[in-house]
Amino acid sequence: MIFSRKRGINRSMDWLTFSLYLGLVFVGYMMIYAVSFDEVRESGLMRSPAGKQLVWIGISFVVFAVFQVIDWKFWQTFAYPVYGLTLFLLIAVLIFGVTIKGATSWFRFGGFTIQPSEFAKFGAALAMAAYLSTYKVDLRSWTQKGTALAIFLVPAMLILLQPDAGSALVFMSFLMVLYREGLNPSYYWGGSFLAFSLILGLVISPVAMFMGLLLIGLFVLAAQMEKNGFWLLGTGLIGVGTIYLYQTGDYYREILIVLISAYLVLLMVLYRRKARQVMFPVTAAILIGGGVAFAANYAFNKVLQPHQQDRIMVWLQPSKADPQGSYYNIMQSKLAISSGGLTGRGFLKGNMTKLNYVPEQSTDFIFCTIGEEQGFTGVFALVILFLMFLFRILKLAERQRSDFARIYAYGLLGILFIHFFINIGMTMGIMPVIGIPLPFISKGGSSLLGFTIMISVLLRMDKYRFRL
């Protein structure tokens, strides 16, 4: 049965989590109202963005209530069909969707737009939970590991075709789920190394990156030698000389010859002493890391569009970014947040908010409004409220008796955390500006409805956790 009427050992809904959800929705609406206050006065509430958001809040509450009477078994039984439906919508939007700000990501119905990528997160969370909760699944198997990765990479790739890199990046949060379910931590160390190499390849010269990896490799190999003090001293002298020559002029060719020669000497000596368990992984790390750095540098200069390059430069090297491009958004965002001081200018009294100094202030940069009008106190309170919400979901996840419910809860937790961390980080310039909303706070009906559905399903599962 889709609708459950059984009682017995049913527990009441987790009201603390529900209250935190309502609190976030309320804060979000008040901030959207503040941003669109001039439009409210000129055109009336229901013709303003605040009025449209109010309609979406009403729809979300109705949907929340409906999902509370759907039998909890429905989601486990129909997880794959729901996932398939969301994939179909992602394909359909590429054909029939409307293009807004360069991305074909929305269906338009009258005066409202729907973004299917927001619901694809829900479908992926259900499918991941259904797959990993199958008793035969073992993440040590390459086939099953690949299937688990495909569950979230397929929708991410479809979203990249829109193109919407920010929404696609959110699907990487499912790596948290795989870690919780036993994926080998070495994959995460390897992924972190590749990410580190990619970022450094954009910040410094790929040749310098390769030389740095060679130096590190030399020290690792030298430490494996007998009487390693001698070898470490020699490697240290090579390192000091390399840094000195690099700072005084363009001696790349000479430095590389010295470093590669020294590295080959150490490899030959170690090979005789049968220390292959160290040689091969260190050499592979140098070659792969250097290759990633060169590839990242080439893609940045030859593949990416100027506005995409500008966004990356704003994040990694703001001093070299275009002050009239993406860096302008970051500067205005920081000014708006800092202008609030300790207690803020007061509700509806934010000058930068009213004068629209910060682009996309009701969506991607809604956090600036909180900083300006409510100050450090308001920002701190919102962060604490959000962290309480995340920790509460973590508690709900760990107390589930069903593998399906636990994995689903972790999927929701990861998605919310990525949104929270990146959105707030990009308003302060510590994360790239990729355009993802702050859940429950930013304006957007699809985002609010999608997260409301996910929360409602989790609370329904938790209510029946003793029977799952």
User: Strand 103-109 and strand 98-100: pairing?
Assistant: antiparallel
Predicted confidence (pLDDT) at residue 281 exceeds the cutoff of 90: no
Are the C-beta atoms of 346 and 373 separated by less than 8 Å? yes
Position 164 scores a pLDDT of: 85
DSSP characters over 158-174 = HHHTTT-HHHHHHGGGH
What pLDDT, on a 0 to 100 scale, did the predictor assign at position 1? 46
Q: What's the whole-number mean pLDDT along residues 5-19?
A: 70
Shortest CA distance to 370 belongs to which of 393, 386, 390, 394? 386
Distance CA 418, CA 74 (A): 28
Domain boundaries, the chain: 15-79+114-137+325-463, 200-303
Could you tell me how many helices (H) and strands (E) the chain has, helices first? 20, 3
- Classify the phi-psi angles of 227: left when phi > 0, otherwise alpha if psi is within -120 to 50, otherwise beta: left
| 396 closest CA partner among 468, 323, 324, 312 | 468
pLDDT tens for 301-315 read: 887 777 677 777 777
Name residue 466's amino acid.
Answer: F
Q: What is the pLDDT of residues 123-137, one digit of tens each?
A: 999 999 999 998 778
pLDDT of 361 reads 78
Sheet with 103-109, side-by-side order of all strands: 98-100, 103-109, 112-114
Contact by Cβ (8 Å): 450, 118: yes
pLDDT at residue 6 greater than cutoff 70: no
Q: How far is it, in rounded angstroms, from Cα 247 to Cα 160?
A: 40
Q: What is the pTM of this model?
A: 0.87
Q: Give residue 325's pLDDT.
A: 62
Above 80 in pLDDT, residue 113? Answer: yes
Quickly state the pLDDT bin for 8 (edges 50, 70, 90). Answer: very low
With a cut of 70, say whether residue 321 has pLDDT above it.
no
Q: Which helix (H) or strand (E) holds 344?
A: none
Structure confidence at residue 56 (pLDDT): 94
Of residues 364 and 158, more confidence is placed in 158
Residue 249 and residue 225 in contact, taking contact as beta carbons nearer than 8 Å? no
Interior angle at CA 124, CA 3 and CA 99, nearest 5: 110
For residue 324, the model assigns a pLDDT of 63
Q: Is the pLDDT of residue 3 over 60?
A: no
The answer on pLDDT for 9 being more than 60 is: no
The residues, ordered by sequence, that sit 6+ positions from 244 with a Cβ below 8 Å of its Cβ are: none
319 vs 265, higher pLDDT: 265
> Who wins on pLDDT, 45 or 120?
120
With 50 as the cut, is the pLDDT of residue 10 above it?
A: no
Average pLDDT, the chain: 85
Half-sphere exposure of 79 (CA within 13 A, CB side): 24
List b or e across 353-365, with b for residues whose CB sees 16 or more CB atoms inside 10 angstroms.
beeebbebbbbbb
Burial readout 133-155 (b: 16 or more C-beta within 10 A, e: otherwise): beeebebeeeebbeebeebbbbb
**pLDDT by residue (tens digit) across 63-101?**
999 999 998 889 999 999 999 999 999 999 999 888 887
| pLDDT for 251 | 64
pLDDT single digits (tens) 411-443? 999 999 999 999 998 888 788 878 789 999 999
Higher pLDDT, 213 or 350: 213
Q: Helix or strand or coil: residue 27?
A: helix
* pLDDT at site 263: 81
User: 10 Å Cβ neighbour count for 401?
Assistant: 11
Please give the sequence-ordered ranges of beta strands (E in DSSP) within 7-158, or none if there are none: 98-100, 103-109, 112-114
Percent of the chain at pLDDT > 90 equals 35
Reference 194, options 122, 282, 296; nearest CA is 296
pLDDT of residue 464: 82
Which is higher by pLDDT, 151 or 324?
Answer: 151
Check whether 245 has a pLDDT greater than 80: no
Give Cα 212 distance to the centre of its chain. 29
User: What letter represents residue 417's amino acid?
Assistant: F
- The percent of residues above 70 in pLDDT, for the chain, comes to 92
Cα–Cα distance, 320 to 203 (Å, whole number): 11
